[in-house]
Structure 1
């Protein structure tokens, strides 16, 4: 990967090209990033051709109401978990006209961290070509750094998965 692909606007542009080639639309389901992934995508002119919608589901109730994440799943595993990231991606896809989705749920800080889920913990979900992929990452830095790293990782992995599909 070249260095420019680490740049968020460049990643969004590359993602746009790939989705347009496939005729796919994207939906986002964001918690800790509060819409920053959708914002990075819609920063591009013409994004309505490939960006379908974004869900900002910061509260647990919003995850349940807007994405259909089972409240029992959140109670059992916590909002910042693999099952919830998976359910968020699946829910975004089911509640949109998109063919691919990305979800993020995490602890951006500076408060909210625990021993099990320290600040910087993020779970990702990607639904691409009928398969859901999940991943856990831990990013260093302040709130802004964690959120920016989350956006970049979400987009870079989405680029990689759409390329491979």
Structure 2
């Protein structure tokens, strides 16, 4: 996905890459692809909706590579009822999961990254077209992506 493509581009340009995924198999397949560019790669299984796991991952990244120069936060999920669930039928658990992964996790990542960033560092947060316009029957995804844009503007 976007994370793998971004990791490859950054690696090809000389970056050291620290990457995470909640799915170990996906992560262990992607890490060697990025490493094939000659870049140093650190891969961690992380549930980015858990702040302690994010902090641990970023701390291990800084221990291995030093200060952070740039970060791309691209975690995201589609709601389980993507494009089929109206607001009045929105499930609480699905709402909470979508907001936690698509929005709250980016705040956790940004918070940990900024604390460990050099003076000229930059962060890119992935949103989607859903963050610019409402998508009918998709409130949780749209709200989370609107939130990413707002969070990014507030931090800039």
Q: Same fold (TM over 0.5)?
A: no
For the superposition of Structure 1 and Structure 2, which TM-score range results when normalised by the shorter chain? 0.3 to 0.5
Larger Rg over CA atoms: 2
By percentage of residues, which structure has more strand? Answer: 1
By percentage of residues, which structure has more helix? Answer: 2
Structure 2 length-normalised TM? 0.40
